[in-house]
């Protein structure tokens, strides 16, 4: 049976999501205080270990069945000239993933994450969001279900990414619809626009907001209006992970924007189980991270997409778990001062 049946049912799910296991989280925090190191000396690795423990609901967190989900989709708004690359590149990159030739293939191999790439109707782009809704409600919920059902039965840690020419425009429009402010603050070069191209992209996004206002502050409404199939699938996967208490590492601007749709109606707690892996080079990502009250783990000036930043951050998650689980306590090591 599908995870999601209707907008109202999704609202009910969001109201009744499982919380972090506070008892296990407190145990993990206590262990960190007993390990052979000055308090706080491992910085955010300590925070990551405690976060993992609380959501995995085990004292010794670990990535045993880590999964990377990449969703691919095409966008009708490409017809507005918002990308220097044609829509055909989406399918070509999906083939590159399948052949093992992309950055994410190398990074998932290194981080020991199972990689699954799911194309969503690449031969049927969404509607042009600058003229009206990109999708209808049924299409949006169907894509969310594809994302949710892509999680493996034994998944205990998830990273999400995307591929889709034009999807930085969709992500920026989604952020504008969710958080407001001005279009110029959400747009960036994407796959390589020059300054004039970025200004044009902002005008296209402003046109989308003007054509569709008002849009209800509901995840399905926002994703239908401004998103794409791959963004809706990411949102579905992230929500399904929360339903199963699986910690999630978001990638960059697009993945974070897709997940941010779940926080509609000021429900930021929907993403308590998710961290932002890295600060994207897309200018709108800083604004988005601030709006979500999340600090990305690293800033490597990456803006590739395809879950690459989340895969790199997964190496830090493994480091956090290894130190948390493997270090001796002061008492075990016979070291004074603990």
Catalytic residue numbers? 306
CA–CA distance, 29 with 61 (Å, rounded to integer): 12
Gyration radius of the chain over CA positions: 20
Which residues make Cβ contacts (< 8 Å) with residue 299, sequence separation at least 6? 278, 279
Give buried/exposed letters for 208-242 (b at 16+ CB in 10 A, else e).
Answer: bbeebeebeebbbbbbbbbbbbbbbbbbbbbbbbb
Q: How many residues are there in the chain?
A: 338
DSSP string, 290-331: HHHT---SB-------TTHHHHHHHHHHHHHHHHHHHSPBHH
CA–CA distance, 313 with 299 (Å, rounded to integer): 10
Query: Would you tell me the crossing angle of helices 103-111 and 308-326 to the nearest 10 degrees?
Result: 10
């Amino acid at each position: 049976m599908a995870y999601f049946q209707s907008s109202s049912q999704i609202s009910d799910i969001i109201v009744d999501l499982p919380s972090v296991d506070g008892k296990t989280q407190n145990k993990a925090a206590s262990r960190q205080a007993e390990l052979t190191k000055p308090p706080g000396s491992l910085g955010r690795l300590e925070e990551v270990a405690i976060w993992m423990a609380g959501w995995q609901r085990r004292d010794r967190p670990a990535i045993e069945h880590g999964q990377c989900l990449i969703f691919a989709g095409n966008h009708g708004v490409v017809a507005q000239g918002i990308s220097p690359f044609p829509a055909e590149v989406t399918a070509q990159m999906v083939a590159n993933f399948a052949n093992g030739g992309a950055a994410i293939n190398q990074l998932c191999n290194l981080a020991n994450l199972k990689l699954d790439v799911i194309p969503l109707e690449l031969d049927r782009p969404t509607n042009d969001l600058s003229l009206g809704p990109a999708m209808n409600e049924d299409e949006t919920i169907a894509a969310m279900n594809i994302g949710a059902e892509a999680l493996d039965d034994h998944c205990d840690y998830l990273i999400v990414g995307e591929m889709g020419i034009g999807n930085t425009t969709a992500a920026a429009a989604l952020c504008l619809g969710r958080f407001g402010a001005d279009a110029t603050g959400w747009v960036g070069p994407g796959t390589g626009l020059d300054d004039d191209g970025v200004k044009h992209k902002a005008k296209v996004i402003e046109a989308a907001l003007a054509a569709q206002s008002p849009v209800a502050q509901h995840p399905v409404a926002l994703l239908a209006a401004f998103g794409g199939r791959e963004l809706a699938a990411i949102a579905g996967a992230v929500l399904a992970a929360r339903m199963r208490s699986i910690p999630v590492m978001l990638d960059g601007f697009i993945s974070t924007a897709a997940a941010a749709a779940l926080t509609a109606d000021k429900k930021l707690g929907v993403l308590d189980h998710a961290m932002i892996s890295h600060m994207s080079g897309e200018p709108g990502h800083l604004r988005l991270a601030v709006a979500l009250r999340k600090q990305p783990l690293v800033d490597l000036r990456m803006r590739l997409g395809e879950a690459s930043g989340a895969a790199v951050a997964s190496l830090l998650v493994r480091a956090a778990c290894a130190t948390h689980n493997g270090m001796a306590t002061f008492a075990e090591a016979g070291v004074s001062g603990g």
